[in-house]
Amino acid sequence: MRLTGKGIWGEPGDPEQARQVLRRAVELGVTLIDTADSYGPEVSERLIAEALHPYPEELVIATKAGLCRTGPDQWVPNGRPAYLVQQCELSLRRLGVDTIDLFQLHRIDRDVPMAEQLGALHQLREAGKIRHIGLSEVDAEQLAAAREHVDVASVQNRYNLADREHEPVLEVCEAAGIGFIPWFPVATGDLAQPGGALDEVARRHDATPAQVALSWLLHHSPVVLPIPGTSQVAHLEENCAAATIELSEREVAELAVAGEQVRPGYLQRG
């Protein structure tokens, strides 16, 4: 998402740097890259192919469809079956693959019956165009309804240390073995201030507060896979290093309590 222009619109200021970020991610052992047809639009998918195709065998490319772009920072749901099929075909072409590993419905379009939206994805899977179906920004009730129509492999919701509105969804995912992919996974704000909970734990581990926030997610649940976005190689390396931090059970619990006391308005994107 961050490898595009301002407002997630158009080309990045430095396309070669964006490609360097992608190549470095693979060098660091990253095995899942999350994108969407709407990032740019089209720009992110194209850059991924330019930087990484042919892809390493172990690399999973996850993309999404279901949001139209009418301008910078503008997102309009479109779950019409014909549109979803069209966008899947275009993503296949841009990414240079015959099958998309994980194809996610970016948003459930309230103006289109859910069964029709998921039916389109089911047909794409039956045709071999996609391997797994994912959802994004759904509540527990919507997830349950969706699972009556298709096998759901993953859910991508906004979730982080200080914003756990979707904890009930995560609990369902844990019970069902469904991957939970938090977007906006880094919580900073007051928690990272000197003397704050994140700051204190970070000092113990010689890490940054952002790294500890990511590490907390990994410790919080075995089905969680954070997807912190970045356009800088140094930031990418910092994010990846979070996976090496070993938090104690006490630290995980302390951070959970501290996170519940932070107002969402204090959060900043990571």
Q: What averages of pLDDT result for each successive group of 10 residues across the chain (270 residues)?
A: 97 97 98 98 98 98 98 98 98 98 98 98 98 98 98 97 94 98 84 87 96 96 96 97 97 93 49
What pLDDT does residue 263 have? 54
193 and 139 in a single domain? The answer is no
Can you count the helices (H) and strands (E) in the chain? Answer: 10, 8
The pLDDT tens digits of the residues spanning 52-62 come to 999 999 999 99
In this structure, what token pair is assigned to residue 108? 């459930």
Judge whether 112 lies within some domain: yes
CB contact set of 19 (below 8 Å; sequence gap of 6+): 47, 50, 51
What pLDDT does residue 191 have? 81
135 and 8 in a single domain? The answer is yes
91 and 197 in a single domain? The answer is no
39 is catalytic: yes
Judge whether 170 lies within some domain: no
DSSP, res 9: B
What pLDDT does residue 262 have? 73
CB contact set of 12 (below 8 Å; sequence gap of 6+): 3, 4, 5, 18, 43, 47, 231
Q: Tell me which residue range forms the domain holding 51.
A: 1-156
Catalytic choice (39, 55, 83, 159)? 39
Domain count, the chain: 2
Judge whether 172 lies within some domain: no
CB contact set of 81 (below 8 Å; sequence gap of 6+): 112, 116, 117, 119, 120
The whole-model pTM stands at 0.94
Phi, psi of 77 (to 5 degrees): -60, 140
- R_g (Cα) of the chain, nearest Å: 18
136 and 237 in a single domain? The answer is no
Judge whether 250 lies within some domain: yes
